[in-house]
Structure 1
Amino acid sequence: MCGRTACTLAPDEVCKACSSRALDSKGNKQYRAADWRDHPGNHNYSPRQNVAPTSFTPVMLSERHVRGVKRQSEGEEVPSKYVIQPMMWGLIPPFYKGPSATGHGFKTNNCRVEDIEEKKSYKPSLLKGQRCVVLCDGFYEWQSTKGEKDKQPYFIYAPQPEGVEIWNRDTWDKPDVWSAEEGWKGPRLLKIAGLFSSWTSTEGEEVMSYTVVTMESGKKFGELHHRVPAILETDQDVEDWLDHSRLGYKEALANLKNETEITWHPVSKSVNNSRNQEGDLMSPASLDQKPKETASSKLMASWLSKAPPKQSGIKKEPTTPDSIKKESQAASVKKEVKPSPLAKWLKKEPKNEKE
């Protein structure tokens, strides 16, 4: 399954990270960044390291799928091979009628490849060729193979170029991270097979949404979780999934693999709460590391440290030299207990008997 992702690159960086090489208008081979297209209305993408369903994140589509086949005229700029635009995570079922994009009540952030052809929520997208590639830095997964209640979260991502740490911008955010001659030299994004749809509410609002295709895990990832997103490992994998006019959906589904080159490391349990966006959530963490303190947790700890100890309603006075002296005198008085009549009688000295 896939229930949380990280998308920290800005729109222009995402487009450059999805560059493709092609001939320019002069016949030279150069890299061309993907085109960005805004979502209709006010649904924008905001880079975040802890992304939950119903958020709008970058999705890649075929240029042909979006605009249709367009021939290049002499002197005209070559169109990009791919188009990227934000869509809502969680596919809106085509049969749903209502005013809100999130009011349908179905869990559609993931779709199982095993029954994708039977589900009424997904089959229309398959038949229409509405296949997309979900883009992210990586996704989070909680280890389910050890049966522990307090499950450890992990960050899963694609193998990175030498010297690049996808969770550390300082390792790659350089002036020459992208050029038309060399392409993108920054972090490698994770690309996942998905389906998308376009839906219009009863109020006339247009919303584009997507779902992530998942499958049974292979041997390697199965040590962490029994389900895994269908990861598109190579450029050819991406092209085959997006080119619906050349490859039918049955063949495209059959090409998906559950064994790909991915890597992962444990992260802070602060990622458990999707509201947490602060700190280095994607960075490697020790398995025995405690969740990073938040502003609210620090405030609570400070309050508790100042709270006086409970003493059954007895108010304790401050300790001073005079109070110590008083306590000592009180203790001595307490010790001088009057003897009982019996004790007095026993203490009487016996009279001498006459000889």
Structure 2
Amino acid sequence: MCGRYNLYSSVELLLEQFELTNGDFIEFSPRFNIAPSQEVLSVVQGETGNRGGFLRWGLVPSWANDPKIGYKMINARAETINEKPSFKRLLARRRCLIVADGFYEWKKEGKQKTPFHIRLKNKLPFAFAGLWDRWDQNGTVLQSCTIITTEANELMKDIHERMPVILTKESESAWLDRSIQEEEFLKSLLVPYDSDEMEAYTISALVNSPKNEGIELIKSI
């Protein structure tokens, strides 16, 4: 699963890496403890190129009666994404990238949970595969998203059985391309990232509380 992550790269780097066409409208501060229900930087395909913006983390389907359902839908399983009613229709037309520098996972050993920070070895930002939807009822509009997860790669297996789908640069383009709607092809992009290009290390228990923030959260101990 993926329940907490961070994003602290400069806006300039993100504009370049994700080829955003609306960079003048994107403002955010470094975040080291992004949690569900918060606004997260996402990328979708626009009419003239990639557009960045903010979505609430925790998918609220357009047909939902209560937006609180989003708290239960922070993640979507890649294996069944084309079967679940909440995700099937979004797979064809509402795919997005969710931008991150790293994410957190907790290794369970008995009653103890040890937090880890996981990132790319090159320390560059990357994109989780995501889906988004628009909920509009009683004058309230909410645009929200979910992060897709898959089975753990060799690096992650010792920490947790699942991990978020991290897209390669090539698969990012295909994932955003709205002209591509073939389910099996799209599902073929949702695979574990190459563990040789990733690293994981233990960090302070400060990350356990979403209220804590700051660069000290990603320092190795």
| TM-score, normalized by the shorter chain, greater than 0.5 | yes
Partner deviation per Cα, 1:83-140 (whole Å, 9 max, x = no partner): 1111111111222134xx4x2365111001122222222122123x211111011110
Is there any run of 5+ residues in structure 1 with no aligned partner, and where? 20-32, 68-78, 161-186, 286-355
Match of 2:22 among 5, 17, 35: 35
Q: Which of the residues 130, 140, 145 maps onto 1:210?
A: 145
Answering whether residue 183 of structure 2 is matched by residue 249 of structure 1, we say yes
SS in 2 for 1:143: strand
Counterparts of residues 277-288 of structure 1 (less than 5 Å): 277-278=213-214, 280-285=216-221
Pick from 101, 104, 125: which aligns with 1:137?
Answer: 101
| Counterpart Cα distance in 2 of 1:251 and 1:157 | 26
Which residue of structure 2 aligns with residue 199 of structure 1? 135
Q: For the structure 1 residues 34 and 157, does the alpha-carbon distance in structure 2 shift closer, same or farther, using more than 3 Å as the test?
A: farther
CA drift at 1:36: 3.6
Determine the structure 1 residue equivalent to 2:156: 221
Using a 3 Å threshold, how does the CA distance of structure 1 residues 274 and 18 change in structure 2: closer, same or farther? same
2:217 partner amino acid: L
In structure 2, C-alpha distance between the alignment counterparts of 1:36 and 1:88, rounded to whole Å: 19
Give the Cα–Cα distance (whole angstroms) in 2 for the partners of residues 272 and 253 of structure 1.
32
The superposition leaves residues 49-82 of structure 1 with CA deviations (integer Å, 9 ceiling, x where unpaired) of: 011001111111123xxx3xxxxxxxxxxx5x31
| 1:215 CA displacement | 1.0
- Percent identity over paired residues: 28
Relative contact order, higher structure (CA 8 A, sep 6+): 2
C-alpha distance in structure 2 between counterparts of 1:280 and 1:59, whole Å: 25
Match of 2:116 among 154, 162, 171: 154
Alignment of 1:154-173 (within 5 A): 154-160=116-122
**Cα displacement (A) at 1:195:** 0.6
Out of 36, 49, 63, the residue aligned to residue 53 of structure 1 is: 36
- Higher Rg: 1
Does residue 275 (structure 1) correspond to residue 211 (structure 2)? The answer is: yes
Query: Could you give the per-residue CA deviations for residues 18-51 of structure 1, whole angstroms, max 9, x where no partner exists?
Result: 24xxxxxxxxxxxxx5424869xxxx85531011
Measured after TM superposition, the shift of residue 12 of structure 1 is 4.5
> Which structure 2 residues correspond to residues 112-127 of structure 1 after superposition, within 5 A?
112-127=77-92
Matches of 1:139 and 1:15, distance apart in 2: 21
**In structure 1, distance between residues paired with 2:54 and 2:65:** 22
Query: Residues 234-257 of structure 1: CA distance to partner in whole angstroms, max 9, x if unpaired?
Result: x21111111130352321112322
Secondary structure (helix, strand or coil) at the match of 1:222 reads: coil
State the shift of 1:270 in Å: 0.5
Match of 1:97, as an amino acid? Answer: N
Counterpart-to-counterpart distance in 2, 1:273 and 1:97:
30
What is the CA-CA distance between 1:279 and the residue it aligns to?
A: 5.3
Note closer, same or farther for the CA distance 1:7–1:223 as it changes in structure 2 (3 Å cut).
same
Normalization by structure 1: what TM-score?
0.57
- Relative to structure 1, is the Cα distance of residues 7 and 259 closer, same or farther in structure 2, using a 3 angstrom cutoff? closer
TM-aligned CA deviation for residue 221 of structure 1: 1.8
Whichever structure has more strand as a proportion of its residues is: 2
Q: Name the count of aligned residue pairs.
A: 219
SS of the residue corresponding to residue 92 of structure 1 reads: coil
- SS of 1:223's equivalent? coil
